[in-house]
């Protein structure tokens, strides 16, 4: 999951501060939500491909997220085509109708969410977890939220390892988890989830004692200094502010000038 | 005696655990898809409900962060997760508030507690989550408004199955263990009530 997507690499984008590497994808996602017409949303795809290339994100990481699209794109397409009835009717059969606006919306949403989902590796694949948390802290996200996020992210691989171990132990005891029907798999989920939770609860008690021993309190973040402090260089300011400015400009043109919407320019 | 809000090392650890477990079970749900976008069971629902019952508000908060992290790692846009976490939290909060208010047995060791769990944990809470979840998708343009009527049933069914198949065994078998730990919350926001004080509820 989180911990497995980051692969160290060189390149200009990788040398940016974690703050910039958070701001740029978030700005891209925001711009993506402003693009409501197919003609404007189609430009999101080459943009995200360029960003992924600049960030040197490995192909296998991007392919992991494209698998999500095999589910999402059909659902979005069918929903907008058949359930959005405004506009000129292009095709009709009994109670099913495909309209021009429904088709435009379906295409636009497909492009939009494909680009947005492909932008996720820009965060997960371009920096390790500790940089992500340090970047959020630099962006003034409350210290306690960053601390809890860091703990949870550290917990996930441990739980996954426990889950795999429990699965193998249960299979060694004769529990069939693979070559059975989906309904049996659901029933067998209890056999793996229950022990995993029991282990996790024991770990959490220890974790809470460790947190207490280290004196972590609600007010600690105010005076705390950190070893890993992201440094912002002039190029980070240029890129971050540029991304924010572009987002605001697109938002202005979208809502004030009615660009990028269905029926508007582009 | 006025109830106090307790937020310390245990609550921090509980939120972190709930977040991690919810994120992981979020992923497991993808293995049970029968058609694109429709899963037979959504195991993370059981985590939201069970943790809310054991740890009160702090367990429900884990469902919120778990939705953001789990959905994000799955490819869901961050804005969808930021608003989507609220309805996942509500799914756990509804049965938790009922159980805490009526002092029901969270180990489901009597019929009354089991009945209230089925009604509020398996039916009402999951239905609320299904409605709000589909509306969240409409809010961010993933689906049109009419899709709520279609999407509601598959969402509700997946959550209800998880609340029954996973939630009941987890509560029945693990609650006695959790009650003995220092993590268990007697109150919605506090672990232990002071001895001799009036019960706030």
Tens-digit pLDDT profile for residues B70-115? 877 666 778 888 998 999 999 999 999 999 999 999 999 999 999 9
Is the domain of A26 the same as that of A152? Answer: no
Query: Is A97 inside any structural domain?
Result: yes
Is the domain of A122 the same as that of A244? Answer: yes
What's the CATH number where B154 sits? 1.10.1760.20
Query: Is B19 inside any structural domain?
Result: yes
Contacts of B160 by beta carbon, 8 Å cutoff, 6+ apart: B122, B123, B126
Number of inter-chain CB pairs under 8 A, A vs B: 177
**Could you tell me if A96 and A191 are in contact, meaning their C-beta atoms sit under 8 angstroms apart?**
no
A211-247 per-position pLDDT tens digit: 888 877 666 555 666 777 888 999 999 999 999 999 9
Separation of alpha carbons B190 and B184, rounded Å: 9
Outline where A59-142 has alpha helix (H): 59-83, 100-119, 121-124, 129-138
pLDDT at A55: 92
Q: With residue A56 as reference, give the H or E element that holds it.
A: none
Concatenate the DSSP letters of all residues of B15-63 into one string.
HHHHHHHHHHHHHHGGGGEEETTEES--THHHHHHHHHHHHTHHHHHHH
Query: Is B3 inside any structural domain?
Result: no
Query: Is B168 inside any structural domain?
Result: yes
Nearest-CA neighbor of B28 among B49, B43, B40, B17? B43
Nearest-CA neighbor of A196 among A234, A233, A168, A238? A168
The parent domain of residue B159 ranges over 9-179
Strand-pair partners of B33: B39
| B66 contacts on A by Cβ (under 8 Å) | 152
Buried b (16+ CB within 10 A) or exposed e, B85-100: bbbbbbbbbbbbbbbb
Is the domain of A143 the same as that of A80? Answer: no
| A65 contacts on B by Cβ (under 8 Å) | 75
pLDDT at A24 over 70: yes
Query: Is A228 inside any structural domain?
Result: no
pLDDT band at residue B47 using 50, 70 and 90 as cut-offs: very high
A153-202 per-position pLDDT tens digit: 888 888 888 888 998 898 898 887 777 777 777 778 888 889 989 998 88
Is there a contact between B165 and A187 if contact means CB atoms under 8 Å apart? yes
DSSP 8-state class, residue A249: H
pLDDT at B6: 83
C-alpha dihedral sign at B88, B91, B94, B96: negative
- Which tokens go with B72? 């994000």
Instruction: Please report how many Cα atoms fall inside a 13 Å half-sphere around the Cα of residue A155, on the Cβ side.
Output: 34
Query: Is B197 inside any structural domain?
Result: no
The total of structural domains in chain A comes to: 2
Query: Is B134 inside any structural domain?
Result: yes
Q: Which of A82, A125, A148, A211 to substitute to test the interface with B, most B CBs within 10 Å?
A: A148
A82: helix, coil or strand?
helix
A196: helix, coil or strand?
helix
pLDDT band at residue A48 using 50, 70 and 90 as cut-offs: very high
pTM summary value: 0.84
Is there a contact between A194 and B20 if contact means CB atoms under 8 Å apart? no
Nearest-CA neighbor of B104 among B169, B188, B164? B188
pLDDT at B127 over 90: yes
pLDDT at B74: 64
Give the residue from chain B lying closest to A211, CA to CA.
B9
pLDDT > 70: what percent of chain A?
93
pLDDT at A74 over 60: yes
Is the domain of A112 the same as that of A146? Answer: no
Average pLDDT, rounded, for chain A: 85
Q: What are phi and psi of A99, to 5 degrees?
A: -110, 165
Is there a contact between B37 and A74 if contact means CB atoms under 8 Å apart? yes
pLDDT at B197 over 50: no
Helices A143-172 and A129-138: angle between axes, nearest 10 degrees: 160
The parent domain of residue A24 ranges over 2-127+233-255
């Amino acid at each position: 999951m989180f911990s497995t997507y980051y692969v160290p690499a060189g390149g200009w984008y990788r040398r940016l501060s974690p703050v910039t590497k958070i701001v740029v994808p978030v700005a891209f996602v925001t711009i993506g939500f402003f693009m409501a017409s197919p003609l404007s949303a189609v430009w999101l795809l080459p943009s995200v491909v360029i960003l992924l290339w600049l960030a040197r994100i490995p192909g296998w990481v991007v392919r992991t997220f494209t698998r999500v699209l095999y589910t999402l794109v059909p659902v979005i397409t069918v929903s907008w085509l058949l359930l959005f009835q405004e506009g000129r009717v292009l095709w009709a059969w009994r109670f099913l109708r495909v309209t021009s606006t429904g088709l435009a919306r379906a295409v636009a949403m497909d492009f939009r969410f494909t680009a947005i989902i492909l932008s996720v590796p820009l965060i997960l694949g371009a920096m390790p977890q500790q940089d992500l948390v340090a970047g959020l802290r630099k962006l003034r996200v409350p210290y306690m939220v960053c601390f809890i996020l860091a703990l949870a992210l550290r917990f996930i691989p441990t739980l996954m390892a426990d889950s795999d171990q429990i699965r193998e132990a249960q299979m060694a005891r004769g529990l069939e988890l693979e070559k059975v029907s989906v309904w049996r798999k659901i029933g067998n989920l209890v056999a793996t989830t229950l022990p995993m939770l029991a282990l996790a609860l024991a770990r959490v008690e220890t974790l809470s004692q460790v947190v207490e021993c280290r004196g972590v309190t609600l007010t600690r973040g105010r005076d705390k200094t950190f070893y890993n402090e992201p440094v912002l260089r002039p190029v980070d300011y240029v890129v971050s502010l540029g991304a924010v400015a572009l987002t605001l400009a697109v938002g202005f043109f979208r809502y004030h000038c009615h660009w990028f919407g269905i029926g508007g320019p582009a | 005696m006025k109830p106090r809000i307790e937020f310390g090392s245990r609550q921090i650890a509980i939120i972190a655990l709930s977040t991690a477990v919810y994120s992981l079970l979020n992923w497991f749900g993808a293995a049970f898809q029968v058609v694109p976008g429709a899963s037979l069971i959504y195991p993370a629902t059981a985590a939201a409900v069970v943790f809310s019952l054991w740890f009160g508000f702090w367990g429900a908060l884990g469902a919120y962060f778990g939705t953001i992290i789990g959905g994000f790692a799955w490819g869901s846009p961050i804005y969808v997760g930021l608003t989507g976490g609220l309805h996942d939290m509500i799914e756990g909060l509804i049965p938790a508030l009922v159980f805490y208010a009526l002092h029901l047995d969270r180990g489901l060791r009597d019929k009354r507690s089991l009945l209230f769990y089925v009604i509020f944990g398996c039916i009402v809470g999951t239905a609320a989550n299904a409605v709000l979840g589909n509306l969240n998708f409409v809010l961010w343009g993933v689906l049109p408004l009419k899709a709520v009527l279609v999407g509601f049933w598959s969402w509700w069914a997946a959550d209800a199955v998880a609340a029954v198949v996973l939630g009941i065994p987890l509560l029945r078998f693990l609650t006695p263990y959790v009650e003995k730990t220092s993590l268990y919350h007697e109150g919605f926001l506090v672990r232990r009530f002071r001895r001799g004080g009036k019960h706030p509820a």
